[in-house]
A and B are shown apart, each in its own frame.
Chain A
Amino acid sequence: MTASTWTGRIRDRGVAAFPPDRLLPDTQPVYVASWIYVFGVLTLAAFAVVLASGAVIALAGPAWWHTSSVGHYVNSVHLWGTELFFFFMVVHLWGKFFMAAWRGRRALTWITGAVSFLLSIATAFTGYLTQQNFDSQWIGTQAKDGLNASGVGAFFNVLNFGQMLMWHILLLPLVVALLIGGHILLVRRRGVAPPL
C-alpha cells in the first residue's frame, strides 16, 4: 500500500532501498577479511580527525594556531590527518581500481568516490592557500595563472584569502562530506565489491 503523504512515500522508499539489516549489517562476505578492504574505513577515520581538528582551529582562530604551542599541535594534527587521509584514500583507490570495483551496478559508487577524491584535492589546496605564510603566497601566485586560464578565476580567486578560507572551511568540506555519505550509502546498497 502506497503512503498518501510525501513524508510517508520518502520513508517507504528509504526503507525499501535501505532495510535496517543492509544499512547497518553485522556480518560481511568472507572476502572482506583482507587488509585491502580496511583502507576505506581508515580514510573515513582520518577524515573525522581532519574535521574535528579543523573545527577546533576554526573556533580558536589564527592568533591561537600560529602562536601557542597547543595551537601548533592541533594545526599539525590537522595537517598530518590530511596526509593520512590522502595516503589511505590512494591505497583504497588502487585497491578498488585493480579489482574493477565498478562491476555489479556499482558505477555510481565508483564515480562518487572518484569525485570525492578530486574535490578533496581542491579542499587541501585551499587549505595550503590559507596557511597565512610565504608558502601560501607562493602557491597562490603560482596557481592563479593556470586557474585563470581555465576560466574559473572569476569565481575562484586564489589570491582572495577570505574567499579561499570560506571554500576551505565551509563549501568544499560540506560537499566532500555529502559525497562521502552518499558513497557509503551506495556501498551499503550494492554491497562491498568482490575481488576479481
Chain B
Amino acid sequence: MLAALVGAVVNLDGRPRYIHSGWFLISTANLVVIVAMLAVFALAIAAPFPRDRGEA
C-alpha cells in the first residue's frame, strides 16, 4: 500500500533523473538525500529536546 502510494508520487521504476548544469551533475535521488540530511542536521541543532517533568 505504502509502496504504491510512493510509486504514485515518484516513479521508482523508470530511468533515473539528473540535475545537470555545466560541470555540475547529480542524480535527483542523491540531491534529495543530501538536502534531507542537511535539514535533519539543522533540526537536530534547533529542535528542543524533551525533558522529564521533574527537571528544571
**Interface of A toward B, CB cutoff 8 Å:** 33-36, 38-39, 83, 87, 90-91, 94-95
Q: Are A35 and B49 in contact (CB under 8 A)?
A: yes
Q: How far is the CB of A74 from chain B (nearest CB, A)?
A: 15
Q: How many interface residues does B have (CB within 8 Å)?
A: 11
If over half of A's interface residues share one DSSP class (helix, strand or loop), that class is named, otherwise mixed; here it is helix
Which chain B residues have a beta carbon within 8 Å of chain A's beta carbons?
Answer: 33, 36-37, 40-41, 43-45, 47, 49, 51
**How many contacts A-B (CB < 8 Å)?**
30
Q: Is the CB of A91 within 8 A of B40?
A: yes
Name the residue of chain A whose CB is nearest to the CB of B36: A87
Picked from B41, B49, B51, the residue with its CB within 8 Å of the CB of A91 is: B41
Provide the main secondary structure of the chain B interface: helix
Please tell me if the beta carbons of A36 and B45 are within 8 angstroms of each other in the complex.
yes
B37: A residues at CB distance < 8 A: 87, 90-91, 94
